[in-house]
Amino acid sequence: MKARNTLCFLLLSMFIVGCSKHQVPITKRNQLMLLSKKDEVKIGRRNFHGIINKSKLSKDEDKKEMLKRVGLKLTSTINNKRLNWEFILIENDSINASCFPGGKVIVNTGVFKVAQNDEQLATILSHEIAHAISRHGSARISRNRILNGIEGAGVLLTGFLNPLMIIPFVMTYEVGTKNGIINPAIRMEENEADIIGLHLMKKANYDLSAALDFWNNLKNYNKRKRHMTNATHASYTIRIKNIKRTIAKLNNKI
């Protein structure tokens, strides 16, 4: 009975994977999507307010004005009136930014260590905005739900066949999915956000070469900090090479 239920679950998972898709703008790639846009916005709003409530808002008016100016220029190229764009600067030394469903964007003051002008700030903002309009966050949640469901079904089946093999199965499954599915998928989404971000920059009439300046600044900064590897991101060398290729393609369309 358990084995039959497990088989039914796996077949249902395959059906869901085949039927629930969302097409990414620009690249036109289809991705698994189990979250509705309504649920996506709820989760985004909760995460956004969670960060804001635990953070110190920046009082640097020059940086706040620059953030708002660049953010609004980029988002003016996006034809989605349901999004209410808002740009928040928080006091945090790490170089990071996030864009949540619904149009809420949080940027750490640490970003300005490597973003030295409007064009370079547009590079990281367009990248984060690209993640949001591509619904990459919801795709990751959807992917994890499927993988966790299959893992649970696998544990049930393994326990039915040989309970002593449950722990080895879980360890093998989690390592295999992390290295074979999760991390490669995130690296693909990061590259996709770079591509879409460059399209947004071009539409907003920003100098695309500034994207190379930004990533070289970040590469040199992290080199000094001795932090150059990340399993979920391509190396800076590969990333910059891919960005150069995309810029060349976009410039040839003129």
Please tell me the total count of domains within the chain. Answer: 1
pLDDT exceeds cutoff 70 at 248: yes
Token look-up 């410039």 returns: 251
pLDDT exceeds cutoff 70 at 229: no
CA pair distance 205, 31, nearest whole angstrom: 29
For the segment 41-50, the average pLDDT, to the nearest whole number, is 93
Q: Report the mean per-residue pLDDT for the chain.
A: 90
Cβ–Cβ under 8 Å, residues 117 and 210: yes
pTM of the model: 0.88
Which residues on adjacent β-strands are paired with residue 104? 86, 100
Which residues on adjacent β-strands are paired with residue 107? 89, 97
CA pair distance 218, 168, nearest whole angstrom: 40
pLDDT score for 6: 47
Q: pLDDT-derived band of residue 249, with 50, 70 and 90 as boundaries?
A: very high
Cβ–Cβ under 8 Å, residues 131 and 104: no
pLDDT (tens digit per residue) in 144-154: 999 999 999 99
Q: DSSP state, 179?
A: I
Structure tokens at 104: 């809420």
pLDDT (tens digit per residue) in 154-182: 999 999 999 999 999 999 999 999 999 99
pLDDT exceeds cutoff 80 at 80: no
Token look-up 């869901």 returns: 16
Domain of residue 163, residue span = 2-252
CA pair distance 125, 108, nearest whole angstrom: 11
